[in-house]
């Protein structure tokens, strides 16, 4: 298979090498996405802790908004 996904060479060793390279690229991309998700989740949990979040609840947010309306 060539870089476009079409069979260019029927040599199994060549095909295996191409597929292994693709696999490595996908694994690296997955690691980067997982790292980005972890960083965004950490940021959300740290920044939203004053008002509430899905783990802590939103009671802090509701009480602070009641105080500002008076």
- Predicted confidence (pLDDT) per residue in 21-31, tens digit: 999 999 999 99
Query: Comparing 46 with 5, which gets the higher pLDDT?
Result: 46
Tokens of 46: 């740290």
State the chain's mean pLDDT as an integer.
Answer: 79
Return the DSSP state at 48. Answer: G
Tokens of 1: 């298979």
**pLDDT on residue 65:** 55
- Predicted confidence (pLDDT) per residue in 30-59, tens digit: 999 999 999 998 988 888 766 666 666 666
Please tell me the pTM assigned to this model: 0.58
Cβ partners under 8 Å of residue 49, min gap 6 = 56
Q: How far apart are CA 34 and CA 29, in angstroms?
A: 9
Strand partners, 53: 57
């Amino acid at each position: 298979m060539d870089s476009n996904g079409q069979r260019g060479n029927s040599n199994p060793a060549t095909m295996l090498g191409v597929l292994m390279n693709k696999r490595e690229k996908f694994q690296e991309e997955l690691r980067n996405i997982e790292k980005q998700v972890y960083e965004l989740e950490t940021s959300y949990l740290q920044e939203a802790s004053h008002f509430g979040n899905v783990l802590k609840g939103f009671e802090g947010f509701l009480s602070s908004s009641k105080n500002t309306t008076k």
